[in-house]
Amino acid sequence: MDPSQSLTLAFAAFPVAGLAVKFWLATRRVRFVARHRDAVPAPFASTVSLAAHQKAADYTVAKSRIGLAETAFGAAVLLGWTLLGGLSALNQLLVGWLGTGLWQQLALFGAFALIGGLLELPFSLYQTFVVEQRFGFNKMTWKLWLGDLLKATLLGAAIGAPIAALILWLMGAAGPSWWLWARAVWMGFNLLLLVVYPTFIAPLFNKFQPLDDEALKARVTALMQRCGFAAKGLFVMDGSKRSAHANAYFTGFGAAKRVVFYDTLLAKLSPGEVDAVLAHELGHFRHKHIVKRIVMMFALSLAGFALLGWLSSRTGSTRAWASRPTCRARTTRWRCCCSCWRCRCSRTSSRR
């Protein structure tokens, strides 16, 4: 069997195994929540009403079920791209239209991303306008949803196309060590994105105002100082225009770190409750969860690029490989599949 075919089979086995584990864990969770729906846990009986508890249980079950459906669909799509030859057929179609070369490979990346996004749209729509609407959380209008979709698509193309073009160029120009250079570019791009996201990208979707409640600012600053956390600023985001959920988060990297509160959080919770929410986020900092995740992502990217470098070396010299449309397209398709798998893992992690 061809080495790339063996890798494709192994690659396909991972999401199938992962899907089985996720289904097992999620169904256990749903059964547990449903079993305890009719009684508020004793420690919260004095502060949480039965109606609120049941609404939370029903919401958890609904979110879990749509999450399972999305995960199963994503695994099926991934297998369609790989074992069933979806990417190969797409590649051949683009070769027939554009010929071989850099532009065709960029078109393959773009078409892969566009088709994948279109396939996932029904789940996004259902979660926003059915599940969130049913439980009274959705504040999103169709106009705002379409505007977000358009801005995200254009932004993804503007950022992703140059990076993809640079990496594809490195495949043919940097010799046998191209994958090290490509990985360095990818790592630098991700670090840069962490720095510029709070200042340049996030404001394209939401408005951010400095926190002007001096008493709350003093409480929050004191809490952060106790944990050794330093932030460039405290901001309030207009999250209420999209959702009734209340939240707070840290964003940025290094000197660009900032703390963001949803306006719904400040409107609904007391100062002590805001402290509790912030303490949860500070727990991630204290236990270095963010740093660990960044290190894990970089380690996985190194392994992925090393694998692609090994695949290219199996065809002879890098320049010879780069000049072979089939081999180069195969590696590009592998990068598309890896991107798809990484996005699925990222979305699952963000939901947790």
The question of whether 281 is a catalytic residue gets the answer yes
pLDDT tens per residue, range 68-114? 999 899 888 888 887 788 888 998 999 999 888 888 888 998 999 99
Average pLDDT over residues 207-217: 92
| pLDDT band per the 50, 70, 90 thresholds, residue 30 | very high
Q: Cα 311–318–99 angle (5° rounding)?
A: 90
In one letter, which amino acid is 141?
T
pLDDT tens per residue, range 214-270? 999 999 999 988 888 888 889 999 999 999 998 898 887 776 788 999 999 999 998
pLDDT tens per residue, range 152-196? 999 999 998 999 899 888 887 888 888 889 889 988 898 888 888
Please give the model's pTM, rounded to 2 decimal places: 0.80
How far apart are alpha carbons 193 and 349 in whole angstroms?
19
Q: Which of 120, 214, 273, 281 is catalytic?
A: 281
pLDDT at 142 over 90: yes
| 146 and 95 Cβ atoms separated by less than 8 Å | no
Average pLDDT over residues 304-326: 59
C-alpha of 295 from chain center: 16
Return the pLDDT at 343: 47
Average pLDDT over residues 124-139: 95
**CA distances in angstroms from 345 to 239, 253, 290, listed in the order given:** 25, 22, 16
Looking at per-residue confidence, does 339 or 15 come out higher? Answer: 15
Interstrand relation of 258-262 and 234-237 (parallel, antiparallel or unpaired): parallel
Token pair of 225 as six digits:
């100082």
Average pLDDT over residues 199-208: 93
| 8 and 78 Cβ atoms separated by less than 8 Å | no
| pLDDT band per the 50, 70, 90 thresholds, residue 144 | very high
- Kindly report the average pLDDT of the chain as a whole number: 84
Map tokens 């398709």 to a residue.
Answer: 333
Segment among 6-20, 180-194, 291-305, 331-345 with least mean pLDDT: 331-345
Helix axes 86-98, 102-126, angle to 10 degrees: 130
Residue in 137, 131, 121 with CA at minimum distance from that of residue 63 = 131
| pLDDT band per the 50, 70, 90 thresholds, residue 56 | very high
pLDDT tens per residue, range 317-331? 344 334 344 444 444
pLDDT at 202 over 90: yes
Return the pLDDT at 285: 84
Return the pLDDT at 2: 60
Average pLDDT over residues 289-318: 77
pLDDT at 11 over 80: no
